[in-house]
Amino acid sequence: MYRANVRMPQMGSSVHESTVIEWKKSVGDRVLKGDPLLSAESDKVEFEIESPASGLVKEILVSPDATVPVGEVLAILETEEEVSEDTQEAPQPSGPPKATEWVAPVAPMRREKPVQAALPAPPSRTAAPDTAGGSLLSPRVQRLAAQHGIALDTLSRIPGSGAEGRITARDLERYIADGGESEPPSVPLSFSPIIDDPEETFETREPFNRLRRRIAENLTRSVSEIPQVTTFLEIDMGRVAAWRDANKDEFRNAHGTALTFTPFFALAIIAALRDPENARLNGACEDGTLIIKRYINLGIAVDTPDGLMVPVLAGADTLGFADLALRLSDLAERARSGTLKPDDVKGGTITLTNFGASGAIFGNPIINPPEVAIVGSGAVAPRAVALPGGGVGVRPTMGLSITFDHRANDGMAAGRFAASIRAALEGMDLSQLEF
């Protein structure tokens, strides 16, 4: 008798893992060559893995719903004849092999044609080529969505736990079990005048309060004295969003406050400014001189009942992740409650403003003088994006904007700084984040 390892096959050059859906055979079952052993799905297709020869199922090593990399051993067969090695053989383990290594042949999933009514494809959209990874919803997800009447725009809002942030069947089943989305509120329309009493005043005058006057003076000075240019780019927030979703409950339990995206943005800005090539974006322009500062006092724009305030987190570059998140939250709360101290709003070297708090995708921020740059972050939300290999997928993305003082820096320097922030957010070593 011979033994053969059944491995997860590669379904396209850019597919690196697939999910076991259901075992069709059990340990001890006899199988014939070509019998389906199990069904699995990649990010693009559902398929069956067949037995390479007649024999006995000795071991099943992977449970249903488990996602495993290409080449992972799924089962061990005791076969009546030696199984020849397939041309798409998985990498051999170290040491002399004890069993024939074989990559399972695959067959299209034998299933009824899924109902497509709930997922109409846009007329101009074409199917992704086989080389695209994570580009389409799997057939199983499409069937579940069609069965439950879940539209494509709703699917785009469900956080995905699969490879590259894709939505898996488990994600959708969990969403359905939780009751799905509530119906959006109905906004009533009124076609009567706002004021229909001729005795009432149709206009009111509201003098600026002290804070509003300071805001007006500061921003007027900014736009009248500083030649400002804004550059925009889009950032894939998939990894950061998944880490935050996985850890936000634990963070709240440990610290009693919500884990927002703001500390991640702050970390990325700090990481970008550590590069000497970006140092000129962290400083002040005074009397024809650029003062470059090699410490980071990060200003955070906060919307308060009286107007915009920008408290400053001094020494932001010296803080760990948890301290950074807690100090930023504390500053924002004290700004809203009106309990900031004078030193809390002084000495900023660069400012972060979050347009995403209002749902905006992008914004064009105004520099807070005498600083020479301000970073704006848009809403983090699922959007259709082009993927490597030519596919189209749904990923959580964010619009980033950077306004810079053209007296102190040129467009190439600002673009390099923006690219550094994007690289930090997309490639952040999340294993180093402790709280």
Write out the catalytic residue numbers.
406, 410
> Whats the size of the chain, residue-wise?
435
Q: Residue 118 carries which side chain, given as an amino acid letter?
A: A
CA 344 – CA 117 distance, rounded (Å): 56
Of 219, 328, 348, which is closest to residue 281 (Cα–Cα)?
Answer: 348
Residues in contact with 426: Cβ distance below 8 Å, sequence separation at least 6, in sequence order: 235, 236, 239
User: Furthest-apart CA pair in the chain: how many Å?
Assistant: 101
Q: Which residue's structure tokens are 């590259």?
A: 164
CA 256 – CA 108 distance, rounded (Å): 50
Residues in contact with 176: Cβ distance below 8 Å, sequence separation at least 6, in sequence order: 144, 148, 150
* Token pair belonging to 298: 């990060």
Residues in contact with 418: Cβ distance below 8 Å, sequence separation at least 6, in sequence order: 231, 233, 400, 402
Of 178, 127, 167, 126, which is closest to residue 143 (Cα–Cα)?
Answer: 167
CA 227 – CA 32 distance, rounded (Å): 76
Question: φ and ψ at 103, to 5 degrees?
Answer: -100, 125
* Token pair belonging to 222: 């900014």
CA 30 – CA 55 distance, rounded (Å): 6
Strand 55-60 and strand 46-50: the pairing is unpaired
Question: φ and ψ at 279, to 5 degrees?
Answer: -60, -30
Please report the sign of the dihedral spanned by the C-alpha atoms of residue 29, residue 33, residue 39, residue 41: positive
Alpha helices by DSSP H, listed for 226-370, are 238-255, 262-273, 321-337
CB 74 within 8 A of CB 8: yes
CB 232 within 8 A of CB 256: no
> Could you count the other beta carbons within 10 Å of the beta carbon of residue 33?
15
Distance from chain centroid for Cα 142: 22
